[in-house]
Structure 1
């Protein structure tokens, strides 16, 4: 045995049984051991041992699963592939190990090739789980989703006889499994050991980085101003979806709880050619937001980003395209990405997501205002709670020179959300387990009420029998949320969590999972084909 087995008596166990979200494992749900693998051979041996011994395996690369799907494994084993960090490059293929974390991947690819994958900004997220969920980041409006560049996947599966098999899957070899690996979510069919990409896009030569903070005091007693503020942002993003000149603009609009003091707007911008020759989209967005809210670029703590010591430029700077907004810094792309890293501290957390195809409605804004300013208004424990609105669309939704010819209209991936202009992540963080219920309930009530008027069953349900012509495109499987198994009302007619994440592809993806995981080795609360608690099989489905 060459992998390292860490049992409960090992001093490393208490640390390694946990991941980024410190809520997990739940009491009594500890794995019996963690198998640390230093090579693909190790991972194959570890999986084979688990299968032969009847031990349920769960897989960890970076440890950022928001739910307890990895850490909650009573009596089973966690197979850790964090050492699978190989990176190799030739003229046709960029190969990245599944254990590589975002930051290592960015740095090493840049050194070797000058390229920048359109992946996430959280430095410690593992490639293994990030890419298989679809993968998006600050360059995705310019270059599409990470899976849009995927050429092949290496993984370990378990055959009918219980034998672990190595596979290289691509568009011509196990094409159905390749489709599942391009947005179907991690842990469904086996252990991904590496990804093969087409040559990735060149990193921008320059980016402009601006962090603005809009004090809550100006909105707290003026809901109409808050409404106009949000609609200014949403209107810009809707129009920007079809304007290629804006595709190098990415924003993190941080609608914080009022106890944080400030609403945040983080903007990274480069023009479509990777420079700052055309800065008009940046100027237009800042103008739209500043016409409603009074902002500052003073350095303070910003939830989801951390302290911002870099935002100290108090005069405008001139570039080829004109004068940048006051407070804007010009950065090398690599250092800008490092600066806006949003991983944050390892804490307890709860998360939800939604894809939006249109601007905010009055109902959505009313609920956002209520839960961000009136519920627990004076409780400083909510200072790390927010709804982060990420800009979306662009090359994710449309053919564009920056996404290497990928056509979202002929989408061969499992990432079905190709019409949205904003992607929302509801987040709340805390440290004391005694506060678990308070935070979880706040976020549940908040989320269900946002979607009560135009969603279905309290969720952003996509186009379907349950919700024809929906304004939403469901949820992101990279931000899993077990509440979505049932939605607000368990047993609601025509509601199914799988459709919420995978749209009309759900049954097809379930069939692919069953084909390549015939013994149901890889099962968790939201694995493909999972049934909600105490509810029967899906009517007409798998």
Structure 2
């Protein structure tokens, strides 16, 4: 069995699950929060007394369980145990309690040299259009996870990692059609590494994000996409990623979303992103403390220009889906960088925020658990 969780090896389950929890299998099996049956939580009452509370989907304390299905970590108490069970399981058979990973996956890497702005726009346009077209639950490509990474290098390069469920007999044909759609009209043609077939575990362990020896200093700014970026937004991406002053480890990433994530009704969990097809990350990374101001400013200006039409942040509308609380960005609560007039919590929680506030008032009346983007009473 498995859970459709993330792959960054330095991340623990505490905040990951509470924020929703997303990974390479989420398009097939949903978020981790969609498999969260209960939580055991240490809460603190108005008198400062701590108590251990069990909250489950079926009760007791269903509201406290709900708050942990996307309400973010550090808001309601200290979780000491997560109880995981899929919605279609009654718990009687442990072997059927959670989904199974694919028996094997087809994997390859596709390397695109970025020579011109037009070629870059064509590539990203193809990529976003494909996943927008294939974002519905039970789509034939729900078993495809293919993150795209644009790196700040001297010549410019973009890498597409492909992980495709290899069980269906049509897998090879689907992979061929996908690569044809992504590379259509892109010049020069990419370098496609030899296709390999391996277990899902081996693919994650050996191919996708092996743990680095020393992690860099990082600033992340994220957003959900409900529609593909415009050509002008893609040109904005090109200009900032070709900035020679940030050559190094910084990356612009696109992570496919949708699929089974969008099969869950809005409001069934605290996670509001049930109608997006893609997650975007501006991942500024550097090594020396004296680079803090330069790289953080670069990320802020990039994000502000990308979302200039909505006050510098991805205000939820027909094109934007807000942002993911597991990439917390205090800039969204700073009027210097969020000029939209829309509060930060609208980007992270949408209409779910008022219910989270009521649960906060019940279970943490003294706001013992707080941080820069915590749910306010």
TM-score in same-fold range (> 0.5): yes
Is the CA contact 1:350–1:429 (under 8 Å) kept in the aligned structure 2? yes
Is the CA contact 1:207–1:330 (under 8 Å) kept in the aligned structure 2? yes
- Tell me: CA distance 1:490–1:150, structure 2 relative to 1, closer, same or farther (3 Å): closer
User: Which residue number corresponds to residue 100 of structure 2?
Assistant: 202
Q: What is the SS of the residue equivalent to 2:224? A: strand
* Deviating more after overlay: 229-238 vs 508-517: 508-517
User: Which residue number corresponds to residue 30 of structure 1?
Assistant: none
Residue 123 of structure 1 and its aligned partner are, at CA, apart by 2.0
1:127 aligns with 2:3: no
Matches within 5 A, 1:8-407: 115-171=1-57, 172-198=59-85, 199-216=97-114, 218=115, 222-242=116-136, 244-259=139-154, 261-270=156-165, 274-275=167-168, 277-291=170-184, 292-293=186-187, 294-297=189-192, 327-339=194-206, 340-341=208-209, 343-344=211-212, 345-373=214-242, 375=243, 377=244, 379=245, 381-398=246-263
Q: Deviations over 1:111-153 (max 9, x none)?
A: xxxx121010112310111100100100000001110111111
Residue 278 of structure 1 and its aligned partner are, at CA, apart by 3.0
Q: Distance in 2 between matches of 1:372 and 1:416?
A: 30
Is the CA contact 1:364–1:450 (under 8 Å) kept in the aligned structure 2? yes
Q: Distance in 2 between matches of 1:208 and 1:481?
A: 35
Residue 265 of structure 1 and its aligned partner are, at CA, apart by 0.4
Q: What is the SS of the residue equivalent to 1:352? A: strand
Q: TM-score, normalised by structure 1?
A: 0.64
Of residues 357, 365, 374, the one that matches 1:518 is: 365
User: Which residue number corresponds to residue 345 of structure 2?
Assistant: 498
Is the CA contact 2:312–2:340 (under 8 Å) kept in the aligned structure 1? no
Q: Distance in 2 between matches of 1:490 and 1:278?
A: 44
User: Which residue number corresponds to residue 461 of structure 1?
Assistant: 315
- Tell me: CA distance 1:360–1:415, structure 2 relative to 1, closer, same or farther (3 Å): same
Is the CA contact 2:221–2:283 (under 8 Å) kept in the aligned structure 1? yes
Residue 258 of structure 1 and its aligned partner are, at CA, apart by 3.7
Q: Distance in 1 between matches of 2:155 and 2:269?
A: 39
User: Which residue number corresponds to residue 329 of structure 2?
Assistant: 481
* Runs (5+) with no aligned partner, structure 2: 86-96
Matches within 5 A, 1:447-458: 447-453=303-309, 456-458=310-312
- Tell me: CA distance 1:204–1:240, structure 2 relative to 1, closer, same or farther (3 Å): same
Q: What is the SS of the residue equivalent to 1:423? A: strand
Q: What is the SS of the residue equivalent to 1:334? A: helix
Residue 259 of structure 1 and its aligned partner are, at CA, apart by 3.1
Q: TM-score, normalised by structure 2?
A: 0.91
Root mean square deviation of aligned Cα: 1.8
Is the CA contact 1:270–1:276 (under 8 Å) kept in the aligned structure 2? no
Q: Distance in 2 between matches of 1:208 and 1:487?
A: 46
Number of residues of Structure 1 aligned to a counterpart in Structure 2: 360
Q: Distance in 2 between matches of 1:215 and 1:442?
A: 23
- Tell me: CA distance 1:295–1:490, structure 2 relative to 1, closer, same or farther (3 Å): closer
Q: Distance in 2 between matches of 1:330 and 1:287?
A: 20
Q: Which has the higher contact order (CA 8 A, sep 6+)?
A: 2
Q: What is the SS of the residue equivalent to 2:181? A: helix
